[in-house]
């Protein structure tokens, strides 16, 4: 099977001239024999790499690989972060590690709200893990924990996953407290530090409610909670 199709076809008896020789070379294109149609293909006579035609092993020894969905898999990613051209920063939308992760320093996002906490308050854990209500509480409240308005916590967590977060409630002259809790709109009863749920808020303070939620099954959770006064 031929590899090249010449730019000039000679027949018996044709004269060979500089022009016909130049045409044979200059107008030549690749033929079907030049490609394997697995890693390479022809495009208007040119040789091109097929989509997905280069495997990780052709790029580097021991290099990363990609899933069919485009996810990068690697035993380690070092030095040059993903998501930035600056050597000291990088961003992932989500990052999952199955082994031990060593982190030297983290900066955690806090979600601040100037709304007075009261009634039913939605806490969206996809927004972060620190929720600070800076205006004085206006009444008892029910905390509803979810991923966000379109994602349930049940969908966000796998069974045996746990997640921790805090809710900081600013108190005025009258202290209020969390009187109930929900996950995805369904009532749950936390296990409170000290064995009893809060029955009062602390006036002129910031009450910090700390929670750890452990998903033990589909829409089934164990919740550990505490209330601590800061003034």
pLDDT in single tens digits along all 231 residues of the chain: 567 777 677 788 878 888 877 777 777 777 778 888 888 888 887 888 888 777 766 666 666 666 766 666 665 555 555 555 555 555 666 777 777 888 888 888 899 999 999 999 999 999 999 999 999 999 999 999 999 999 999 999 999 999 999 999 999 999 999 999 999 999 999 999 999 999 999 999 999 999 999 999 999 999 999 999 999
What's the number of domains the chain is made of?
2
In a domain, 213, yes or no: yes
pLDDT at residue 141 in the model: 98
Residue 70 within any structural domain of the chain: no
The pTM assigned to this predicted structure is 0.65
SS3 call for 229: strand
Taking phi over 0 as left and psi of -120 to 50 as alpha, with beta for the rest, 149 belongs to alpha
Residue 83 counted as domain residue = no
Which pLDDT score, from 0 to 100, does residue 155 have? 97
Which pLDDT score, from 0 to 100, does residue 40 have? 86
Are residues 212 and 116 located together in one domain of the fold? yes
Domain membership flag for residue 160: yes
- Does residue 117 share a domain with residue 28? no
225 and 124 part of one domain: yes
Question: What is the domain extent for residue 131?
Answer: 110-230
Per-residue DSSP letters for 176-219? --EEEEEETTEEE--EEGGGS------TTSEEEEEEEEEEEETT
Residue 168, pLDDT score: 98
What end-to-end distance do the CA atoms of the chain give, in Å? 85
């Amino acid at each position: 099977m031929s590899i090249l199709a010449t730019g000039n076809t000679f027949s018996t008896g044709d004269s060979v001239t500089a022009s016909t020789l130049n045409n044979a070379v200059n107008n030549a294109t690749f033929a079907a024999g030049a490609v394997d149609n697995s890693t390479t293909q022809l495009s208007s006579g040119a040789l091109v790499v097929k989509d997905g035609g280069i495997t990780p092993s052709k790029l580097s020894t021991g290099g990363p690989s990609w899933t069919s969905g485009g996810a990068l898999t690697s035993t380690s990613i070092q030095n040059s972060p993903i998501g930035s051209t600056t050597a000291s920063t990088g961003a992932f939308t989500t990052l999952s590690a199955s082994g031990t992760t060593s982190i030297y320093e983290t900066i955690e996002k806090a979600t601040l709200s100037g709304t007075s906490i009261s009634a039913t308050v939605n806490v969206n854990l996809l927004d972060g893990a620190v929720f600070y209500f800076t205006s004085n509480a206006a009444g008892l409240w029910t905390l509803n924990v979810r991923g966000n308005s379109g994602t349930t916590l049940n969908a966000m967590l796998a069974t045996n996953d746990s997640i921790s977060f805090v809710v900081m409630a600013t108190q005025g002259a009258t202290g209020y407290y969390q009187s109930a809790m929900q996950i995805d709109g369904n009532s749950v009863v936390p296990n409170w530090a000290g064995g009893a749920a809060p029955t009062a808020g602390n006036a002129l303070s910031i009450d910090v409610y700390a929670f750890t939620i452990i998903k033990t099954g589909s829409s089934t959770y164990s919740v550990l909670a505490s209330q601590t006064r800061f003034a």
